[in-house]
Structure 1
Amino acid sequence: MRIGCLQFAPQVGDVDNNLNRADSVLSKANPDDLDLLVLPELAFSGYNFKSLQHISPFLEHSGSGITSLWARTTALKYNCNVVVGYPEKVDVSDNWPTSPEYYNSAIVVNEDGETIANYRKTFLYYTDETWALEGQGFFDGPIPGVGNASMGICDPYRFEAPWHDFEFAFHVLECESNVVILSMAWMTREDGRMFSRMPNEPDLDTLTYWLTRLEPLIRAENGDEVIVIFCNRTGIEDDAVYAGTSAVVGIQDGEVKIYGLLGRGEKELLVVDTTNPPYAKLAHRPEPNRPSVLHGELQMMNPSPASSTPTGSGGSQSSQPKPSQQNNEARTPTDAKKSPGKPHSSANSSKDSVASRRVRPSPQIQIPPLQDSSSLDSPSLPTPTAPSPTPLSMRPRLIIPQSPSSQIWPSSSPVPQSTQSTHSVRSILSNQSVT
């Protein structure tokens, strides 16, 4: 399956230019034989609206707005399914009198230009709550040429639900979906100037957090690969800094395979083919001194000379994520990587294996104790697998050397140093005036 993630930087209320930005990225990539194209949340309206009055001019009716028109045109042009987020306005005239309804939605258009699904965001962020209503649940259903898909926007619920609820991940398992689509406008709390200094580097803290929220999928032993599409946006809107890092990963038998990954600031179309081998894996390795804390690391595969990095994947993939904490607690899930079981020679051991699968314990979340403030400067700082924006005390400090206080510039007509005077012209004139 060939999947495209369009990561770009729309601006609030700049619909026409946002459409041009998306078209420019697509035209430059000129993808062929796509099965699915995914765009971020509220792709053309922008995201960081302050109120219902602020977003009102950009609300659209499902199937007839500018986003729906763009999705149909693009689906017909590239002969693929298109998923794109937009602010939906529901026509409630048939149910009058009633209040208007507005949703943070995503429309799904098939390769024939027909609308086959319209998903309304269920877990609202505080920015959404200023204007949108909650949808009735996550989406699941067939998408032609893709398979049985589950779709969500953002996760988890208001960041207040218990960590171990894993609402969306259990939804995917219950629906037995083989494709997961997450259209997002995911932010980082890092300073925008610092965060954007390395635009080609993915934000591995953010990627690891997303994957940790899918821990039940990683721990599942059904043997079937689940393709997960994280389509995020990049750029800055006022005080909102978006994390980028769009990715396509495969989860199977406790392994997380990276098929494609974009940097935090890249404006590109990520195109991957899931029938090709992945170019990296996300490994979870315990710290030697603190085995209860895990950290994520991208392991590069050994590509053949003919193989190449997936289109649009930029930056170095071998860097490790920074340490981070959330609400002063480093929530760390249980080991997210399990090796596939080896075949057993005896029938009894096979029965034991089947029995152990039937009675699989629920995921246990280990919360390590808080670190002392004196240990924050230690170079061997452990990195949790459920990161949130890195506290200021744990961020790397940028030291800019001061320029020298004075500097002697050579004159245009060099003079031997032995004959140079140590007095200024003003002091010489003042001495002469005294005599």
Structure 2
Amino acid sequence: MIVACLQFSPELGKVQENIRKADQILQRTAIPANIDWIILPELAFTGYDFHSLEEIKPFLEPTTSGISTHWAIQVAAHYKCHVTVGYPEITTTDPPVQYNSTVTVSPQGTILANYHKAFLYYTDETWSAEGPTGFFSGPLGALGQVTLGICMDINPYKFTAPWTDYEFANAAIENDTSIVCVSMAWLCHLSPEELMTDPHIMDLATVSYWVERFHPLVGRSNSGPVYVILANRCGMEKAVCYAGSSTVLKIENGVVSMYETLGKSEEKCLVVDLNERPKFQVRSAGA
């Protein structure tokens, strides 16, 4: 399976400009003819740092029928692959409900999953409801059994649940998932100056944290490989800095290996063939 994480820096509320930027990155990337899946960040085209329902309201998209979904269908058809993109959803129910969501479409343009973020970050809580059905684990077209998440989902619930509950990682285990995919708008503690220093280098603290949140998968032995795709955004919004560092991991028999990672401020499409050998060993169960 060949996957691609499209990491870029969307500007808050500039939907058309952000779509053009994503298109330009794809156009200058050598996307393989047999690509299986393109994954974009959380709230990819609207930006993330909205602090109220009133602020995000002009950018809410009807369930699987807004501009983000239409873009995903067009890109899926062009590259003949699956596409996942994050968007701010508003339902057509009465009353309507808002969710932080991802939509996944097939190469034929079929909606395969519309996932609602289950664990909300503080910023989400100002406008979004929690996903009512928990994490998504299930068949995702030709991709097979997949667990989907959005950013905060990999953290302890509301940062109050015990660290060792590992809710998201354990959901992947319970559902016998071989592929985990998380769309992100993950913040970092770096200053703007630090973000732009060596922009092609990953934020090691962030990537190390992500690996730790999948500890239950590392602890398993005599099991098949699990591939973890972490598709983050980069850049800044208001005073918020994002970590970039999109990463693809393989976890098998207590060993975490890394195929590749992007830099903390790179706007680039990371293309990884999961059939190839990962480049680096990150840690083992005893480490």
Structure 1 residue 175: deviation in Å? 0.2
> Which 4+ residue blocks in structure 1 deviate beyond 6 angstroms?
none
Partner of 1:256: 256
Structure 1 residue 88: deviation in Å? 0.1
Q: Which amino acid aligns with 1:249?
A: L
- Against the structure 1 CA distance between its residues 44 and 256, is the aligned structure 2 distance closer, same or farther, given a 3 Å change threshold? same
Q: Which amino acid aligns with 1:126?
A: Y
Please, which of 96, 104, 110 is the counterpart of residue 106 of structure 2?
Answer: 110
Q: Deviations over 1:23-54 (max 9, x none)?
A: 01000004021111100000001000011000
2:206 maps to 1:233: no
Partner of 2:90: 89
Partner of 1:271: 271
Q: Distance in 2 between matches of 1:25 and 1:225?
A: 30
Q: How does 1:76-225 map to 2 (within 5 A)?
A: 76-93=77-94, 99-136=95-132, 137-154=134-151, 155-156=154-155, 157-225=157-225
Q: Secondary structure at the match of 2:62?
A: coil
CA contact (8 A) 1:3 1:35 kept: yes
Q: Which amino acid aligns with 1:151?
A: L
The alignment's TM-score, normalised by the length of structure 1, stands at 0.64
2:19 maps to 1:22: no
Partner of 2:9: 9
Partner of 1:290: none
CA contact (8 A) 1:190 1:241 kept: yes
Q: Which has the higher contact order (CA 8 A, sep 6+)?
A: 2
CA contact (8 A) 1:255 1:337 kept: no
Q: Distance in 2 between matches of 1:272 and 1:118?
A: 24
Q: Distance in 1 between matches of 2:181 and 2:44?
A: 15
CA contact (8 A) 2:112 2:141 kept: no
- For structure 1, list consecutive stretches of 5 or more residues without a partner in the other structure: 94-98, 285-335, 339-435
Partner of 2:49: 48
Q: Secondary structure at the match of 2:42?
A: coil
Q: Secondary structure at the match of 2:68?
A: helix
Q: Distance in 2 between matches of 1:79 and 1:267?
A: 23
Q: Distance in 2 between matches of 1:256 and 1:165?
A: 20
Structure 1 residue 194: deviation in Å? 1.8
Q: Distance in 2 between matches of 1:216 and 1:51?
A: 35
Q: Deviations over 1:351-389 (max 9, x none)?
A: xxxxxxxxxxxxxxxxxxxxxxxxxxxxxxxxxxxxxxx
Partner of 1:295: none
Q: Secondary structure at the match of 1:282?
A: strand
CA contact (8 A) 1:48 1:127 kept: yes
| Total equivalences in the alignment | 282
Structure 1 residue 195: deviation in Å? 2.6
Q: How does 1:296-335 map to 2 (within 5 A)?
A: none
Q: Distance in 1 between matches of 2:77 and 2:90?
A: 25
Partner of 1:31: 31
Q: Which amino acid aligns with 1:73?
A: Q
2:61 maps to 1:64: no
Q: Deviations over 1:266-301 (max 9, x none)?
A: 0000001011111111036xxxxxxxxxxxxxxxxx
Partner of 1:355: none
Which segment drifts farther, 154-163 or 80-89? 154-163
Q: Distance in 1 between matches of 2:283 and 2:170?
A: 22
The alignment's TM-score, normalised by the length of structure 2, stands at 0.96
Structure 1 residue 179: deviation in Å? 0.2
CA contact (8 A) 2:63 2:92 kept: no
Alignment RMSD: 1.1
Structure 1 residue 223: deviation in Å? 2.1
Q: Deviations over 1:161-184 (max 9, x none)?
A: 211110001100000000000000
Structure 1 residue 86: deviation in Å? 0.1
- For structure 2, list consecutive stretches of 5 or more residues without a partner in the other structure: none
Structure 1 residue 74: deviation in Å? 0.4
Structure 1 residue 144: deviation in Å? 2.5
| Larger CA Rg, structure 1 vs 2 | 1
Q: Distance in 1 between matches of 2:160 and 2:137?
A: 24
Structure 1 residue 259: deviation in Å? 1.0
Structure 1 residue 201: deviation in Å? 0.4
Q: Secondary structure at the match of 1:158?
A: helix
